[in-house]
Structure 1
Amino acid sequence: MREEKKQQNVLSSGCPMTIYPPLPLLELLSYTVVTLGVIGYITFCVLRSSLVDVDALNPYDFEPGWSFLDRKKDISNFEWRFWYELFLAIYPWYIGHVILGKLAEWTFSQYRKVAFIVYSLICLSNVMGWRIICLIFAHSFISFVSSKLKSKKLVWIVSLFLLTTLNFEPGISWIKSLTDDKDEEQTFYLFIFALALSNIRYTSFALEKCGAVDDKTSTRTESDNQEYTADSLVDLALYIFYLPLFFTGPILTYDLFSKQFAMKLKWTKERIVLNALNILRMLFWALLNELLLHYLYFGALQQNRTVVASASLYTVAGIGYWQGQFFMNKYLVMFGLPSNIAKIDNFDPPKGPKCIAYIYLYSDMWKYFDCGLYRFLKRYIYVPLGGSQAGLLWQTIGSVCCFVFIFYWHGAEYYIFLWVLLNFVGVTMEGLGKYCSKLPMISKFQTETISPVSVRRLHAALSVPIFLTSAFAIFCFFGGHDVGYVFFIRLIIEGWPVSWLSLSVFLYCPIQIAMEINRRQMLKQKTS
């Protein structure tokens, strides 16, 4: 009884780390059966559509697959195809980096920074050309100079101005002119991606130089200020051009980068084995992604509005589901492989994305999908504006500014605006729900009128519309606003209210499963 009352108090607090009570075994089992059954069926629908509708799809979205499978491969996901091929091309450079890093660490550690910088510049010049390297350094140098005045406002003005040159003309045309590559689209994409990530890095460096606001996620102390301020261009060049994290990240803010670079960890057999296993795990997920693209053509199907408009609701739901899962798997590899290379250099980069099947709150999606970007936003935007400690108004203003930056950093296009807007609406709805749960009347209802298990069921039901909002935001992000609109029409408007009720029931079950997985993970962390 005492434990039940304790759970009630935790639930009524509206804390994001709520440990929900367990459900009756039969009820949990029924949710599991429904969830697995629905996922299995919508996957079958996508597979069937991949077989039946393949001739109606864009032939340029396919190429010959693995010969022993005798299947075409869906190559419509430009981002995955690009980075998969690039990683294959630069992997020998990673091996060279690892060898150089260990030699420098063991024999000439005083020149380790310079060795990393020179080697990275040789690699990047070979892959991207010297012109774009000079442009990245020019951007970084301008930000470095702006930080000399110790004004965070000036740093942000300069940073946003440099970001503007990536989003609008004539900056775009000028960047395109820096390449003489025949495949202009791919080279331009690489340039823009590298410049955008560099913008995050030199902004972090400059803000740290100006004295960034410390928060609970920081390990920085007053005695460390001189070390982390780092007023050297060599430090900036190392941070910007550090090879393992240069191309895709994950983002490591400068205060952590500088401290971790100075760490000296013992190179043990256990560390070698663990890192090798993690790299093999990333290669496994990469090959699994490739295998999926031979059988489930969700990317090519999504880009054909005629097929999506005529497909069954289960097929449409399956396309959306597998787009989300593939997106997570894609970034698991894109973040995971470079992270494990960086760990050999004693870095501890942010973890890769948490499986989206375990996430039912969209605020958790932002926290656990791209942890590096989340920390950047929190440390340099949200906390300086007051954060959650400054009241609801400033908390909202901080959230708005974070989402505005995300919109601008991702390219300032209409479909990005819709994605960001729906994200903000979802996160705001979630925050409003937590705020309302603290009101005396609602808190009393949850703690005295209904049981903790009923509170869990209520919270799961209230999470459904927020989850749907986030799902349509993702659809806009994957395929543009036209695709997002088609998904909304098919899954919500057509067949109303049956389609809405069916979708709500189907989402309620996996939300309960996600709650249970999170409950067990938190209990395990609490007891460990």
Structure 2
Amino acid sequence: MRLKAALPKLELYLYAAVLYLSLLWAGTWIWDASADNVNRKVFKKSVKPGWHYFGRKMDVADFEWVMWFTTFRNHILFALAGHVIFAKVCSLISPRIGMDDWYCKHRSLIYGLYGGLAVLVSMGGGFLALVLSHCFILYSVALVKRKWIVFVAGLASLATFKMEPFNTWQQGFVTGYFELQDILFYGGSCFTIMRCMSFALENCEKKDGNYTFTDLLKYNFYLPFFYFGPIQTFDQFHVQANNPNLTRKQREMWNITTGALLHLGAIFVVDVFFHYLYILTIPNDMKLVKQLSDWSLGQFS
């Protein structure tokens, strides 16, 4: 029989204090290194003007972070904002035209159609056809109701995006080129397969009959999920999407507001780090790294 005992609070506070003071001490060394070496040749490539009110240039070596505040902000967030506005407009119009009950029963289908239209506009009909083909193949596998076959088929489908000539052939379905094309292509395709696997596994557990192909499409093309992963498994989505009596939970708006403020605070803190601690650029200059103290090198590890 194992005994579980929590450490004394005073001891935990002591450990936390030592940890945060160590990080703060190491941060001061990196702060000085960032300020004193900003004119080095390596820094000029990745330290660019950032938010003016910080009064310092920004480390742009993190491509994903920069992309979120440029291309993602202008495209993906616009599409997601459209999803919210579209849902709100539908909820306001449906009671006025006497279709409130119909909308409550079919809102997941309406959101799926909006998501499919957004994918069609952003990536083209060829990409939409490719996604639908993966959905159809894995839906056919789901009807067999064998979990090991689902895993094999899903992993094989994912592998086609790492194997030639299958990868090049599938990329050919997307015409033209724009900055986010590769990310949206692989994100939309691979996450589609993961959602289809979630759907297929749940279908294996279903005792009476099968879920419909429409259920899979509603789940896959729900826009907040499409480019950003499964996020929610099919069983949870199916219950929530088919609940006709949605009620706002107690303090739900307060929780949403609090979560949003926490995320904005985290974004602000990380951006401060990119403006004052060039943690991503400094390791690229080995001559400078050799001059730094052990405290500074400990931050990079």
Question: Which interval holds the TM-score relative to the shorter structure?
Answer: 0.7 to 0.9
**Shift in CA distance, 246/310, structure 1 to aligned 2, threshold 3 Å:** farther
**Shift in CA distance, 126/71, structure 1 to aligned 2, threshold 3 Å:** farther
Please say if residues 57 and 304 of structure 1, whose CA atoms lie closer than 8 Å, have aligned partners that are also in contact. Answer: yes
**Shift in CA distance, 290/236, structure 1 to aligned 2, threshold 3 Å:** same
**Shift in CA distance, 33/204, structure 1 to aligned 2, threshold 3 Å:** closer
RMSD: 2.8
2:79 aligned with 1:93, yes or no? Answer: yes
Shift of 1:33: 3.6
Higher relative contact order (CA 8 A, sep 6+): 2
Corresponding position of 1:43: 27
CA–CA distance in structure 2, aligned partners of residues 159 and 28 of structure 1: 45
Structure 1 unaligned residues grouped into runs of 5+: 1-8, 12-17, 212-223, 321-528
Please say if residues 138 and 196 of structure 2, whose CA atoms lie closer than 8 Å, have aligned partners that are also in contact. Answer: yes
Of the three residues 119, 124, 135, the one matched with 2:114 is 119
CA–CA distance in structure 2, aligned partners of residues 310 and 168 of structure 1: 44
2:16 aligned with 1:22, yes or no? Answer: no
**Shift in CA distance, 34/180, structure 1 to aligned 2, threshold 3 Å:** same
**Shift in CA distance, 19/247, structure 1 to aligned 2, threshold 3 Å:** farther
Shift of 1:58: 5.1
2:70 aligned with 1:74, yes or no? Answer: no
Q: Secondary structure at the match of 2:296?
A: helix
CA–CA distance in structure 2, aligned partners of residues 29 and 208 of structure 1: 45
Letter in 1 for 2:134: H
Of the three residues 111, 125, 130, the one matched with 1:130 is 125
Shift of 1:162: 0.9
Letter in 1 for 2:54: L
The number of aligned residues is: 288
Of the three residues 241, 245, 249, the one matched with 2:221 is 241
Describe how 1:505-524 pairs up with structure 2 within 5 A. none
**Shift in CA distance, 160/285, structure 1 to aligned 2, threshold 3 Å:** same
Q: Secondary structure at the match of 1:267?
A: coil
Please say if residues 136 and 195 of structure 1, whose CA atoms lie closer than 8 Å, have aligned partners that are also in contact. Answer: yes
Shift of 1:201: 0.8
Please say if residues 195 and 230 of structure 2, whose CA atoms lie closer than 8 Å, have aligned partners that are also in contact. Answer: no
CA–CA distance in structure 2, aligned partners of residues 35 and 244 of structure 1: 37
Letter in 1 for 2:297: V
Shift of 1:134: 2.2
**Shift in CA distance, 249/19, structure 1 to aligned 2, threshold 3 Å:** farther
Shift of 1:248: 1.9
Shift of 1:143: 0.7
**Shift in CA distance, 67/265, structure 1 to aligned 2, threshold 3 Å:** same
Normalised by the size of structure 1, how large is the TM-score? 0.49
Describe how 1:101-500 pairs up with structure 2 within 5 A. 101-102=87-88, 103-104=90-91, 107=100, 108-177=103-172, 178-183=174-179, 186-211=180-205, 225-226=207-208, 231-249=211-229, 251-263=231-243, 264-267=245-248, 270-320=251-301
CA–CA distance in structure 1, aligned partners of residues 298 and 148 of structure 2: 45
CA–CA distance in structure 1, aligned partners of residues 287 and 25 of structure 2: 22
CA–CA distance in structure 2, aligned partners of residues 209 and 268 of structure 1: 30
CA–CA distance in structure 2, aligned partners of residues 250 and 41 of structure 1: 40
Shift of 1:88: 4.6
Shift of 1:40: 0.6
Q: Secondary structure at the match of 1:100?
A: helix
Shift of 1:261: 1.8
CA–CA distance in structure 2, aligned partners of residues 302 and 225 of structure 1: 56
CA–CA distance in structure 1, aligned partners of residues 298 and 42 of structure 2: 18
Please say if residues 175 and 188 of structure 1, whose CA atoms lie closer than 8 Å, have aligned partners that are also in contact. Answer: no
Please say if residues 150 and 200 of structure 2, whose CA atoms lie closer than 8 Å, have aligned partners that are also in contact. Answer: yes
Please say if residues 198 and 233 of structure 2, whose CA atoms lie closer than 8 Å, have aligned partners that are also in contact. Answer: yes
Corresponding position of 1:482: none
Corresponding position of 1:52: 36
Shift of 1:112: 1.1
Shift of 1:296: 1.5
Letter in 2 for 1:180: G
**Shift in CA distance, 35/270, structure 1 to aligned 2, threshold 3 Å:** closer
Q: Secondary structure at the match of 1:150?
A: coil
Letter in 1 for 2:211: D
Indicate the structure with greater helix content: 1
Please say if residues 74 and 293 of structure 1, whose CA atoms lie closer than 8 Å, have aligned partners that are also in contact. Answer: yes
Structure 2 unaligned residues grouped into runs of 5+: none
Letter in 2 for 1:172: N
CA–CA distance in structure 2, aligned partners of residues 36 and 310 of structure 1: 24
CA–CA distance in structure 2, aligned partners of residues 128 and 318 of structure 1: 41
**Shift in CA distance, 287/311, structure 1 to aligned 2, threshold 3 Å:** same
**Shift in CA distance, 276/181, structure 1 to aligned 2, threshold 3 Å:** same
Shift of 1:119: 0.9
**Shift in CA distance, 33/290, structure 1 to aligned 2, threshold 3 Å:** closer
Letter in 2 for 1:142: I
CA–CA distance in structure 1, aligned partners of residues 269 and 7 of structure 2: 35
Shift of 1:120: 0.8
Shift of 1:237: 1.0
Corresponding position of 1:61: 46
**Shift in CA distance, 134/304, structure 1 to aligned 2, threshold 3 Å:** farther
Deviations 1:480-517 (A, max 9, x none): xxxxxxxxxxxxxxxxxxxxxxxxxxxxxxxxxxxxxx
Please say if residues 10 and 19 of structure 1, whose CA atoms lie closer than 8 Å, have aligned partners that are also in contact. Answer: no
Shift of 1:116: 0.6
